[in-house]
Structure 1
Amino acid sequence: MKHLSVLLLIVIFALPLSAQQTQKPMLYGSSWMAVTGKPMAATAGAMIFQQGGNAVDAACAMLAATCTMWDTLSWGGETQALIYDPKTHKVIAINAMGFAPTGATVAYFKGKGYNFPPEYGPLAATTPGTPGGLIYMLIHYGKLSLKQVLAPAMHMAAGYAIEAQAANTMERDKEMLKQWPYSKKVFLTHPGEKREAPEPGEIFVQKDLLTTLTKMVDAETAALKKGKSREAALMAAYDRFYKGDIAKEFVRGSQEQGGLITMQDLAKWKPAEEEPLMINYKGIDVYKLQQWTQGPAMLQALNILENFDLKSMGYNSSKYIHTLYQAMNLSFADRDFYYGDPYTNKGQPMKGLLSKEYGKQRAALIQYNNNDAHIGPGDPYPFEGKQNPYINLLKQRGFEMDTTKRNFAPTHDLGNNSPKEEYQDRLWRGTTSIEAADKEGWVVSVTPSGGWLPACIAGNTGIGMSQRMQSFVLDSALNPFNVVAPGKRPRVTLSPSLFLKDGKPFLSAAVQGGDTQDQNLLQFFLNVAEFGMTVQKATEAANFNTNQLWLSLGGTKTSDREPKPGQILLNNNTPESVRNDLKKMGYTLSFADRTSGPINAVYFDWKHGSLWGGSSNHGEDYGIGW
């Protein structure tokens, strides 16, 4: 029997990756696909598809529903999206990231004793971007009215059976929520009882939020009755939120609790449509948002990895893990120093950073037998014919810029001993993701976030304010492009992806998880492109995460954010031989049961004219196809 057991194990591990089983079934559809962070929100997308909406309408409905369900975001947060337009055959980038309000200066936060802006409360808030981003997408790429698209979310705001995840988070964070009177009113529905938050399955009512959403729809309806165009009616809803009575109450409630946002800030902010950034990896065009996100780090990593034969290394072999870990460290070191808001800080060297030649130079730094704990930013400026204006700043930090030598990090970049649980919480800090596609060819990938629990609600609007200010730095030595200033967008972790092959959609994917987003998306993509996994298998496949980067979220001290060189999170099923190899290379190992995401994705089967949906087994993410 012992020999038979060993034989069975050999047979199982010898199965090709394409034959491996998944815990969730593949989703198939020929008309449309809706995948997001909550089953009810996926249902909202399905409802809109059934009313004749396209993928943009459905994505907006899912966005509204997830915000209403507090799926680690709220209406006061931020939205960023990639959209494939089948009419123009182009990928469009939507920037609906709020900016820092009036008074949000380095001096202000340092005067309060912070090394980074706070992670919670009214001072963590940028201007809300999600309502404006949603309306912008509807105006330019959707078909339906705001009233139709918001109907599922409004129904939920009137009362829905709350899921355990959100309800238990409210209970866990109740002491913090009690600091803010409007949050306390909304979330702690049983004040004074042992459990003050809603119970799982309880009908959770948000009267103030319903009023806010109703006001927006009323503005649209009134404009249509006056004979205004669809666009003008949608803009009437937009203006009521950012310039009208909703704005006034939002500002009043924010400032009452110590926030900085003004009416002028709300009126001045606008969503933006951008050209996405793109590189080609072995015949596949990979699209990401611009450098106000961390998305280009994945593009840089792919340029580095293109110099290696990854397939021959074997999926999650020690050599494969080591090579990806080093490539990610190199790209994240550049992210941490060079990325920031292109609207307020010109001159980020994105052409150099994304050049194949620079990727090859960075690839040459990878040491084959050990982890390089001293990786720092490179010098991409020569690859766009310029001199680096920050050489002196980098030298002051202690980085070696001579490419014939190894970069090395100064002592304060080499990690600290903060508790593992606290660090990992910051590394993984969540959002949600939304994937939608339809038979007309529209594809939408969104990673919205902000206003997550424990959220500070702005007055009687029912809207949780963003916490994205914490992604700014207060010291230009950390990143000269991402220093906080009024009217500036922080460099965020949020990072949807679109992939085209032969000029047509190939994959669409996004994932929650703070600084791990582009780590997991990189591995997901390679699972498909290099190892031939189906989209569902690729979402569930075991990934790993590096901690050798500056955290973008959490903590107000430098020691809370600094890198932990060599620390790696592996799946529990990692073979002993791989563990031993990695230890010899200088890695410090930790383990988890699920290390896949949660990733949501859509694959486009042009041979059969069908859509394949994938949603990892990591959390509550779910999809519906038809």
Structure 2
Amino acid sequence: MKRLSALIIFASFALTTLAQQTQKPMLYGTSWMAVTGKPMAATAGSMIFQQGGNAVDAACAMLAATCTMWDTLSWGGETQALIYNPKTGKVIAINAMGVAPTGATVAFFKSKGYNFPPEYGPLAATTPGTPGGLIYMLMQYGTMSLGQVLAPAMHMAAGYAIEAQAANTIEKDKDMLKTWPYSKKVFLTHPGEKREAPEPGEIFVQKDLLATLTKMVEAEKAALKKGKTRKQALMAAYDRFYKGDIAAEFVRGSKEQGGLITMQDLAKWKPVEEAPLMVNYKGIDVYKLQQWTQGPVMLQALNILENFDLKGMGYNSAKYIHTVYQAMNLAFADRDFYYGDPAANPNGPIKGLLSKDYAKQRAALIQYDKNDAKIGPGNPYPFEGKVNPYINLLKDRGFELDTTKRNFAPKHDLGNNTPKEVYEDRLWRGTTSIEAADKDGWVVSVTPSGGWLPACIAGNTGVGMSQRMQSFVLDSTLNPFNVVAPGKRPRVTLSPSMFMKDGKPYLSAAVQGGDTQDQNLIQFFLDVAEFGMTVQKATEAPNFNTNQLWLSLGGTKTADREPKPGQILLNTNTKDEVRDQLKKMGYTLSFTERTSGPINAVYFDWKHGSLWGGSSNHGEDYGIGW
């Protein structure tokens, strides 16, 4: 009997151990953690930590490195971040999203035959936000100089061994890159040969970008020599990019290629520090950026899911998948109609959208036996004591707001016939993620993006322009809060996360992947909070994706963006009985081995005083801890 008991205990231990096995090892540290989209960029963060920098300094160095590597973004893109400040005990948000330039109006784009602004080229560009966002974070919360944090990126711009992913993307996109003279000059290092892009491992040199970064550092050094303070010196570098000779060349190069950005657009833009949004899920405070991002989708979905016993359903059971899928659909339906730049329209119903009572009303709409292909946006205004001013628009769309009846989507929301490979490229496009934490308590989560390959480079700056204009709409019946206008920020997919428990950091996480970002982060968080997975296990765990949403990226026609109700992407290891049950519920199933973008995360082990880093096996993301 004792032997049998011992065997049972051993078997139980073996199964537990097996359940926690991962393809990549957990990262452990006591001093710092640096995780991002490429090994070389994570190394840049580690270099800064080793020189005495804090997590903000390291995050800035990793941001600069990923931009220089064209890790699905570049220097002309956009940055936003959540930062935990241990000195104040608060989470703050950095909004360094560019804005639509002068002349970017509905009439302008419609005159060119677009239903959405274009996805590539100069007309896709908002004003660059990343240089300003990096400098602002460094100035307010970092400790080092711009020259110090840019040193790894400048070394890379002078020449680094380009990795296969970027090199092969350049080759794939070379025909488009040839249409822009400055992009052709930078990227096609073997013009006229069979392979015109750099080869993997080739030393890739970016002289123009190096010159731009050097000018910014020179401006900082010159200001310090004149006796200026650290912050004043950083602002000198900022001004040279947005108001000086760098700005002038950027604007000249943009206009030469048909772009709209003016010197005034660059000079007027500035990064904004703002309060993040937060809901509490079963004792854990979940922080996201404001509704100019899709971040509140996660908050809304968690509010809905709080009404269900998810753990009791079982991890990735048919009932669990169905419930989470439906909750995400409800949240995305609200995103698609109500989210947009609050600075341009401060009357958005975000208070109502994040109301627990509103979530209960939305949760009651979930049908337990089938997918609801006709879910539309709700009416959150009564939950903040207001009357919905967009009732007529919703009626024009055909949505029923009477909760005693079923919501339904109009016919044009139900028929996306875009080929699978094209659709999924748009669903997952662009971006990287950055996670940094240190022993003093600073935590940074960033999901920078924009200016990804194939990028149009602005003149001789070496800076690829953003493509984020495509996330605006031109039709107010789609979303009255996100209609393009000069000076306005588009509603973007970019969505870092931070989680607090008992007044302390609990988790920090972000993921690349367009409209799938918050879908994957919701499931990652539930894997840890509900199912007790380690942070590394949760980054690798099978996720599922809903396609029942309007795409935020890709295509200039309405048909390019329409939802695919009931379509679900599942992991290839999904059990047969789960597949059968989901089919009976009305789902259309597809499968892949990788069901999320690469999630990067840090878990805070307060019991032992250690940092645990997780970096998904779904890409080339990498972390270093000490």
Q: TM-score range by the shorter chain?
A: over 0.9
Residue 619 of structure 2 is aligned to residue 619 of structure 1: yes
Query: What is the CA-CA distance between 1:417 and the residue it aligns to?
Result: 1.2
5 Å-filtered alignment, 1:175-194, equals 175-194=175-194
State the identity as a percent: 88
**Structure 1 unaligned runs (5+)?**
1-10
Query: What is the CA-CA distance between 1:17 and the residue it aligns to?
Result: 8.6
Residue aligning to 1:546: 546
Q: TM-score, normalised by structure 1?
A: 0.98
Deviations 1:390-447 (A, max 9, x none): 0111011100010111100000011221101100100011200000000000000000
Whole-angstrom distance in 2 between the partners of 1:14 and 1:102? 63
Whether the 8 Å CA contact 2:416–2:561 is kept in 1: the answer is no
Whole-angstrom distance in 1 between the partners of 2:100 and 2:621? 31
Q: TM-score, normalised by structure 2?
A: 0.98
Whole-angstrom distance in 1 between the partners of 2:13 and 2:390? 50
Residue aligning to 1:59: 59
Whole-angstrom distance in 1 between the partners of 2:162 and 2:113? 38
Residue aligning to 1:148: 148
Whole-angstrom distance in 1 between the partners of 2:155 and 2:543? 38
Residue aligning to 2:599: 599
Residue aligning to 1:470: 470
Residue aligning to 1:19: 19
Whole-angstrom distance in 2 between the partners of 1:542 and 1:156? 35
Deviations 1:66-103 (A, max 9, x none): 00000000000000000000000000000000000000
Whole-angstrom distance in 2 between the partners of 1:395 and 1:451? 37
Residue 296 of structure 2 is aligned to residue 302 of structure 1: no
Whether the 8 Å CA contact 2:371–2:586 is kept in 1: the answer is yes
* Aligned-partner SS, 1:435: strand
* Aligned-partner SS, 1:586: coil
Amino acid at match of 1:59: A
Whole-angstrom distance in 1 between the partners of 2:555 and 2:565? 19
Amino acid at match of 1:342: P
Aligned CA distance change for structure 1 residues 473 and 12 (closer, same or farther; 3 Å): farther
* Aligned-partner SS, 2:362: helix
Whole-angstrom distance in 2 between the partners of 1:325 and 1:17? 30
Whole-angstrom distance in 2 between the partners of 1:106 and 1:152? 41
**Structure 2 unaligned runs (5+)?**
1-10
Residue aligning to 2:8: none
Whether the 8 Å CA contact 1:18–1:532 is kept in 2: the answer is no
Residue aligning to 1:98: 98
Deviations 1:1-40 (A, max 9, x none): xxxxxxxxxx899945983310000000000000000000
Deviations 1:213-267 (A, max 9, x none): 0000000000000000000000000000000000000000000000000000000
Amino acid at match of 2:351: K
Amino acid at match of 2:268: K
Residue 270 of structure 2 is aligned to residue 270 of structure 1: yes
Whether the 8 Å CA contact 1:541–1:596 is kept in 2: the answer is no
Whole-angstrom distance in 1 between the partners of 2:133 and 2:594? 32
5 Å-filtered alignment, 1:418-433, equals 418-433=418-433
* Aligned-partner SS, 2:360: helix
Task: Give the count of matched residue pairs.
Answer: 616
Whole-angstrom distance in 1 between the partners of 2:552 and 2:139? 32
Residue 224 of structure 2 is aligned to residue 224 of structure 1: yes
Whole-angstrom distance in 2 between the partners of 1:162 and 1:597? 22
* Aligned-partner SS, 1:612: strand
Amino acid at match of 1:298: M
5 Å-filtered alignment, 1:314-329, equals 314-329=314-329
* Aligned-partner SS, 1:466: coil
Residue 509 of structure 2 is aligned to residue 493 of structure 1: no
Deviations 1:289-325 (A, max 9, x none): 0000000010000000000000000110000000000
Amino acid at match of 2:511: V
Whether the 8 Å CA contact 1:539–1:597 is kept in 2: the answer is no
Whole-angstrom distance in 1 between the partners of 2:415 and 2:222? 57
Whole-angstrom distance in 1 between the partners of 2:570 and 2:250? 43
Aligned CA distance change for structure 1 residues 595 and 17 (closer, same or farther; 3 Å): farther
Residue aligning to 1:537: 537
Query: What is the CA-CA distance between 1:619 and the residue it aligns to?
Result: 0.3
Whole-angstrom distance in 2 between the partners of 1:16 and 1:585? 32
5 Å-filtered alignment, 1:115-126, equals 115-126=115-126
* Aligned-partner SS, 1:555: coil
Aligned CA distance change for structure 1 residues 12 and 114 (closer, same or farther; 3 Å): farther
Amino acid at match of 2:206: Q
Whole-angstrom distance in 2 between the partners of 1:589 and 1:439? 45
Query: What is the CA-CA distance between 1:346 and the residue it aligns to?
Result: 1.8
Residue aligning to 1:7: none
Task: Kindly report the root-mean-square deviation, in angstroms, between the aligned alpha carbons of the 2 structures.
Answer: 1.1
Query: What is the CA-CA distance between 1:594 and the residue it aligns to?
Result: 1.2
Whether the 8 Å CA contact 1:18–1:533 is kept in 2: the answer is no
Whole-angstrom distance in 2 between the partners of 1:529 and 1:318? 20
5 Å-filtered alignment, 1:495-534, equals 495-534=495-534
Residue aligning to 1:71: 71
Residue 398 of structure 2 is aligned to residue 398 of structure 1: yes
Whole-angstrom distance in 2 between the partners of 1:293 and 1:456? 24
Deviations 1:479-510 (A, max 9, x none): 00000000000000000000000000000000
Residue 57 of structure 2 is aligned to residue 89 of structure 1: no
Whether the 8 Å CA contact 1:539–1:596 is kept in 2: the answer is no
Whether the 8 Å CA contact 1:292–1:490 is kept in 2: the answer is yes
Whether the 8 Å CA contact 1:596–1:616 is kept in 2: the answer is no
Whether the 8 Å CA contact 1:106–1:484 is kept in 2: the answer is yes
